[in-house]
Amino acid sequence: MDKYKVRNNVRKLRFNHDEITQEQLAEKVGVTRQTIIAIEGGKYAPSLELAFKIALVFGVPLQEVFSYELEGDEK
Amino acid sequence: MTYQEKSIAVSLVSHLLIVVYYLVNLFQMQQAGGLVSAKVFSLWAIVIVSTIIVNIIGNILTNILLSIVHAIKTRSEHVEKFIEDERDKLIGLKGSKVSYIAFSIGVLIAMLSFAFGQPPLVMFSLLILSSILGEIIGDISQLYLYQKGF
């Protein structure tokens, strides 16, 4: 069976939203900065609720922040 | 190092000290001519009570001390909020699972020691040892998960 992975554009979206810091994003969604670091690094796949909260902060649909892709399939 | 990592590190060090104290005392008893019920019971009591104190009061004290250190370091009166988010909770759950597996293996070894003719004192000593070792292994696995990211 093919292995899929949750990928994200959080770093890019932060950059496009006035370079909002990891600390500020963490505060807005109610998690620690370490969790944002883990999400950005692709080490931690957030819960659906947290994923929606992050998308809300950037004002974009969920699929613009997170995608589910084949592992090793770099864009 | 985050607040959670510091708290786990404190718990790990405390559990290591307790296990060293326990093993040194057990070894000394063994050297002095075998395990004596009264002495072993009092040692168990000390170890069990210390573990409970470490788990409850230790956590509270760590929280207070870290807040004081943070206030001194940043020289602000702003109280740092140590929030526990979903990732912390998941890491905590994974740590508990590892602790539980380690403890279960310890229980099995203790039961086997009894089945192979060791006295009940040895079996119960092994049970207590495995419970503390389970905590230590759980703490280490949590620290590992924090270092790795998840």
Domain residue extents for chain A: 4-70
**CB-based contact B87 A31, cutoff 8 Å:** yes
Contacts for A57 with CB less than 8 Å, ≥ 6 apart: A17, A20, A25, A28, A29
Whose CA is closest to B51, among B138, B143, B148, B131?
B131
Q: How far is CA A75 from CA A13, A16, A67, A72, B127, in A?
A: 16, 19, 11, 9, 53
Please provide the CATH number assigned to the domain covering A4-70. Answer: 1.10.260.40
**What is the per-residue burial (b if ≥16 Cβ within 10 Å, else e) of B22-32?**
beebbeebeee
Number of other residues whose CB lies within 10 A of the CB of residue B121: 17
Hey, is B113 helix, strand or coil? Answer: helix
Q: Parallel, antiparallel, or unpaired: how do β-strands A66-70 and A4-8 relate?
A: antiparallel
**CB-based contact B86 A32, cutoff 8 Å:** no
C-alpha A46/C-alpha B90 separation (Å) is 11
Beta bridge pairs of residue A4: A70
In a structure prediction context, what are the per-residue pLDDT tens digits for chain B, which is 150 residues long? 788 898 899 899 999 999 999 999 999 998 988 888 888 999 999 999 998 988 888 888 888 888 888 788 877 666 666 788 999 999 999 999 999 999 999 999 999 999 999 999 999 999 999 999 999 999 999 999 999 988
State the ipTM, two decimals.
0.87
For position B81, what pLDDT does the model report?
64
**CB-based contact B85 A30, cutoff 8 Å:** yes
Both structure tokens of B63? 């929280």
Asked if A50 is an interface residue toward chain B (Cβ–Cβ < 8 A), one would say yes
Give contacts of B85 with chain A, Cβ < 8 Å.
Answer: 30-32, 35
Q: What percent of chain A has pLDDT over 70?
A: 96
C-alpha B19/C-alpha A39 separation (Å) is 36
